[in-house]
């Protein structure tokens, strides 16, 4: 696994181990960032929130491409070691805040750090947490106006088209993963 674009392009990232671990592939990550850049333009100056952050690859990729800061949340022991190590390897340790916490517990407390222009959500597929987390993100008002929530879930996961004022504007399949983009309902310029 490596950073695929921006100032840290080519930097290798340490990965998670375990039979239930499925990090986002470089190819899928590249497709996600292509979708995001086509809608957001530049990532310059964005505040990023990375939920179920794992290795930190998604937020580190965003920082490499110009995002200003990232808050990463994951309760895993491996994440607790890998996120600081990968951040340091990329030279971004001073631009991240890592919260070792359960995501649903952390979401209401993150309101004071937001809003975020870009939110990544990649919960364990088997736990079916994505819809609950999207609703909590909407209720906490964590997504900035004109921002995007990028959700990675299993292809069999079922989502509502709308959670509060967040509406799904894109859905793509990549192997066993499906990518869903949500934005604010009144953000007409972001619709496909």
CATH of the domain at 135: 3.40.50.150
Q: Are 121 and 137 in contact (CB under 8 A)?
A: yes
- Which residue segment(s) compose the domain that 99 sits in? 26-190
H or E segment and range at residue 86:
helix 77-90
Residue bearing the bigger pLDDT, 156 or 16: 156
Q: Does a structural domain hold residue 15?
A: no
Residue 149 to residue 141: CA distance in whole angstroms: 12
Beta strands 143-154 and 162-163 are unpaired
Position 191 pLDDT exceeds 70: no
Q: Does a structural domain hold residue 170?
A: yes
| 159 pLDDT tier (thresholds 50, 70, 90) | confident
pLDDT (average), residues 75-86: 92
Radius of gyration of the chain (CA): 15
Q: What is the pLDDT of residue 18?
A: 59
Position 169 pLDDT exceeds 80: yes
Q: Does a structural domain hold residue 93?
A: yes
pLDDT (average), residues 167-192: 79
Q: Does a structural domain hold residue 39?
A: yes
Q: Structurally, how many domains does the chain consist of? A: 1
Q: What is the pLDDT of residue 192?
A: 44
Q: Are 71 and 60 in contact (CB under 8 A)?
A: no
Q: What is the pLDDT of residue 145?
A: 93
Least confident of 23-37, 87-101, 106-120, 134-148: 23-37
Q: Does a structural domain hold residue 185?
A: yes
| 21 pLDDT tier (thresholds 50, 70, 90) | low
Answering whether pTM is above 0.85, one says: yes
Q: Does a structural domain hold residue 17?
A: no
| 28 pLDDT tier (thresholds 50, 70, 90) | confident
Q: Does a structural domain hold residue 16?
A: no
Share of the chain above pLDDT 70, in %: 90
Residue 64 to residue 149: CA distance in whole angstroms: 19
Position 82 pLDDT exceeds 80: yes
pLDDT (average), residues 128-153: 93
């Amino acid at each position: 696994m490596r950073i695929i674009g921006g100032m840290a392009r080519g930097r290798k990232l340490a990965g998670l181990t375990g039979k239930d671990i499925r990090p986002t592939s470089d190819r899928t990550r590249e497709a996600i960032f292509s979708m995001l850049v086509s809608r957001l333009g530049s990532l310059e100056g964005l505040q990023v929130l990375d939920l179920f952050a794992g290795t930190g690859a998604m937020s580190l990729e965003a920082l490499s491409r110009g995002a200003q800061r990232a808050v990463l949340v994951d309760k895993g022991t491996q994440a607790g070691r890998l996120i600081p190590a990968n951040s340091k390897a990329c030279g971004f340790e001073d631009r991240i805040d890592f919260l070792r916490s359960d995501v649903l517990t952390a979401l209401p407390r993150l309101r004071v750090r937001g809003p975020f222009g870009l939110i990544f959500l990649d919960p364990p597929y088997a736990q079916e947490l994505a819809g609950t987390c999207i609703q909590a993100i909407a209720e906490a008002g964590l997504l900035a106006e004109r921002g995007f929530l990028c959700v990675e879930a299993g292809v069999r996961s079922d989502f509502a088209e709308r959670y509060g004022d967040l509406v799904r504007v894109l859905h793509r399949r990549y192997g066993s993963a499906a990518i869903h983009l949500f934005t604010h309902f009144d953000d007409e310029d972001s619709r496909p």
